[in-house]
Amino acid sequence: MPARGLCAHRGAMTTHPENTLPAFEEALRLGAQMIEFDVQLTRDGALVLMHDATIDRTTTQQGQVADLTLSDLKRADAGVRKNARFAGTRIPTFEEALAVMPRNVWLNCHLKGGAELGAAAARVIEKTGRRHQAFLAATAGAAQGA
């Protein structure tokens, strides 16, 4: 693991749609040693990546993440508002994001929710063998759950 280096905030969000797989892949291509992203819980208990409480700013749909199902969120285009070349980009789940992360980069996971989110995120980190590389930035509630 790197001792220090570049942290890509929401991936390469300046040029790519934030908190998406293309943004993470570009950040890694550019040499980031840490990727920061935001994790929230959907109405049906899925862990997804989204910075805002709503999907309004970054997608073609509207609504609160906590009020929508994973299926609802997967219908939203999370890329086209950034640039037409990213049309069709979807909101990733936490596990989808981890699947594209090499094991030699730090993962800076901002947990935006309560104890249920913290516990669910901790389970995914354990299940995917990522404990050695994950930082959890969390509210008091999420920290208690983790």
pLDDT for residue 2: 67
Answer yes or no: 110 catalytic: no
- Domain-embedded: residue 130: no
From first to last of the 146 residues of the chain, give the pLDDT tens digit.
Answer: 667 788 999 999 999 999 999 999 999 999 999 999 999 999 999 999 999 999 999 999 999 999 999 999 999 999 999 999 999 999 999 999 999 999 999 999 999 999 999 999 999 999 999 999 999 999 888 888 88
Q: How many domains does the chain have?
A: 1
- Told to judge if 132 belongs to the known catalytic residues of this protein, a careful annotator would answer no
The reply to whether 113 falls in a domain is no
Q: Which residue has the tokens 């354990």?
A: 126
Spatial separation of the C-alpha atoms in residues 130 and 107, rounded to whole Å: 9
Among the listed residues 81, 80, 82, 61, the one whose alpha carbon sits nearest the alpha carbon of residue 72: 61
Residue 63: inside a domain, yes or no?
yes
Question: Does any domain span residue 127?
Answer: no
Give the domain CATH number at 74: 3.20.20.190
Q: Can you give the pTM of this predicted structure?
A: 0.94
Q: What letters, b where the CB count within 10 A reaches 16 and e where it falls short, cover 97-125?
A: bbeebeeebbbbbbbbbbbebbebbbebb
- Which residue type, as a one-letter code, is found at position 134? A
User: Residue 71 sits in which domain range?
Assistant: 7-103
Q: Out of 16, 51, 110, 132, which one is annotated catalytic?
A: 51
Is 21 inside a domain boundary? yes
116 domain-assigned: no
